[in-house]
Chain A
Amino acid sequence: DQQVKQNSPSLSVQEGRISILNCDYTNSMFDYFLWYKKYPAEGPTFLISISSIKDKNEDGRFTVFLNKSAKHLSLHIVPSQPGDSAVYFCAASGKTSYDKVIFGPGTSLSVIP
């Protein structure tokens, strides 16, 4: 039973436009959400996180939105750049960031120059 879902395996976006990556979760005990980025042959790199007490967290071109009632979060990248092309994993953990992190299957983003 997949607790973290990313229903779009891939996404293509034109350079300069907005990329929106979506994620849904089923476990209402999740309290902390993270996005990771992964290039081929490398481990995942932590990108941005959000606590369940917030609905938005912004870091430069990256913004994560959380809709707790819908158990949905999204990552917005604007403007998208070719270097953003990677696999993006949505992840969630329990009451503290120290709990194990459960990952979604990932969305492969291609930013077209």
Chain B
Amino acid sequence: DTGVSQNPRHKITKRGQNVTFRCDPISEHNRLYWYRQTLGQGPEFLTYFQNEAQLEKSRLLSDRFSAERPKGSFSTLEIQRTEQGDSAMYLCASSLGMGAFFGQGTRLTVV
């Protein structure tokens, strides 16, 4: 296991299109987090799962955003009707206890 894996690494999309990102956590980790990071800011919490249950969603996560973790393993984050303001790095992290381990992120650019 090489750690948290995110795909794709980069995504360029036209405004109004839907995009979906995938995160494969470290296999034994039951907690999975999604964060968003924009330039000059720290990662902002979006949502997290314990196993397949989505335990908390930030108010940053508008109704255009949806996240799933259907079998408690990998997770997807979908953004519908993308807007230019959605351009950011989307980070996934997983955890079993102390500290969360991050993937390399998916860089989304909405043009």
User: Which A residues form the contact surface with B (CB < 8 A)?
Assistant: 4, 6, 9, 34, 36, 41-46, 49, 89, 91, 97-98, 100-106
Total number of B residues with any Cβ neighbor in A under 8 Å: 26
Which B residues from 54 to 71 make CB contacts under 8 A with A?
Answer: 56
Report Cα–Cα, A9/B42, bound state, in Å. 11
- Contacts A97-B97, A97-B99, A100-B56 given; indicate if A43 touches B42 (C-beta within 8 A): no
Contact B99 A46 (CB under 8 A): yes
Which of A6, A49, A106 has the most chain B CB atoms closer than 10 A to its own CB? A106
- Contacts A43-B4, A43-B105 given; indicate if A89 touches B43 (C-beta within 8 A): yes
Kindly state whether residue B41 has any CB partner on chain A within 8 Å: yes
Which B residues from 75 to 108 make CB contacts under 8 A with A?
Answer: 91, 93, 95, 97-105
* 28 intermolecular pairs with C-beta atoms under 8 Å apart: A4-B42, A34-B99, A36-B102, A42-B105, A43-B6, A43-B103, A43-B104, A43-B105, A44-B43, A44-B102, A45-B102, A46-B99, A46-B100, A49-B98, A91-B42, A97-B95, A97-B98, A97-B99, A98-B31, A98-B97, A100-B33, A102-B45, A103-B35, A103-B42, A103-B43, A103-B45, A106-B40, A106-B42
Kindly state whether residue B74 has any CB partner on chain A within 8 Å: no
Q: Give the Cβ gap from B54 to chain A, nearest Cβ, in Å.
A: 12
Contact partners of A41 in chain B: CB under 8 A: 104
Report Cα–Cα, A45/B73, bound state, in Å. 21
Kindly state whether residue B48 has any CB partner on chain A within 8 Å: yes
Q: Give the Cβ gap from A54 to chain B, nearest Cβ, in Å.
A: 13
Q: List the B residue with the shortest CB-CB distance to A4.
A: B42
Contact partners of A45 in chain B: CB under 8 A: 102
Report Cα–Cα, A104/B103, bound state, in Å. 19
Contact B42 A98 (CB under 8 A): no
